[in-house]
Amino acid sequence: MFNALTKTNYNFPGQTHVYHGKVRDVYSIGEDTLVMIATDRISAFDVILPEGIPYKGQVLNQIASKFLDATADIVPNWKLASPDPMVTVGVRCEPFKVEMVIRGYITGSAWREYKRGVRTLCGLTLPEGMRENQKFETPLITPTTKADEGHDENISREEIIAQGLVSQEDYEQLEKYTYALFQRGTEMAAEKGLILVDTKYEFGKKNGKIYL
């Protein structure tokens, strides 16, 4: 039986740094390149579980790789190559300190807050009388902070710009990319009889250019 890959300890030529995340290990090669390995580790509620699931990393990496290829006409992305099912090699960018969450339906944490009587979500006002799993008339972007440790926190568009986390110009571009990516994902899901309920996108910047 294939053993789960839960740890990596490589030493690539030109390697300058390694970061071990909850699921992915990222090796820096020189100043411009990253090697990201999707391991078989399992993370739940910000806790890494003791055992992994064989092939989980391959599945995660190949899903990401497929959708990066399928949306390259919408936004430039960091991927250069995927030389192994668990590995992506790409452009090193300076990540934006926000994550672009977009929701097509009211479910999950958004519904739990709504059920408690909360009618604002990341600065957006929600209408009365919504039902669980109801589709929004227009998908909502509900960004979060990008925490190095612990939980990401909801934040409004206005707060992001006011706090200088992202410039207004860049944020407006991130919004455009997010809507376009979600539309493409919705169409691709529908082709397979699926519904894209919600997702998140993370972006970075290098030499003045925004990458997914």
Q: What is the pLDDT of residues 121-154, one digit of tens each?
A: 999 999 999 999 999 999 999 999 987 666 789 9
Amino acid making up residue 172? E
Average pLDDT of the segment spanning 177-205: 98
Residue 62, phi then psi, degrees to nearest 5: -70, -30
pLDDT of res. 157? 97
Count, residues in the chain: 212
CATH 3.30.200.20 domain span(s) along the chain:
15-92
pLDDT of res. 55? 96
Average pLDDT of the segment spanning 66-90: 98
Tell me which residue has tokens 């992305």: 77
Q: What is the pLDDT of residues 21-70, one digit of tens each?
A: 999 999 999 999 999 999 999 998 888 888 999 999 999 999 999 999 99
Task: Indicate whether 1 pLDDT > 60.
Answer: no
pLDDT of res. 151? 72
pLDDT of res. 150? 60
Higher pLDDT, 104 or 147: 104
Share of the chain above pLDDT 90, in %: 92
- Topology of the domain comprising 15-92: Phosphorylase Kinase; domain 1 (3.30.200)
Average pLDDT, the chain: 95
Helices (H), the chain: 56-70, 108-115, 157-162, 168-191
CATH 3.30.470.20 domain span(s) along the chain:
95-211
pTM: 0.91
Characterize 12-48 residue by residue with b for buried, 16 or more Cβ atoms within 10 angstroms of its Cβ, and e for exposed: eeeeeebeeeebbbbbbbeeebbbbbbbbbbeeeeee
Average pLDDT of the segment spanning 85-99: 97
pLDDT of res. 148? 65
Q: Which CATH superfamily is 95-211 part of? A: ATP-grasp fold, B domain (3.30.470.20)
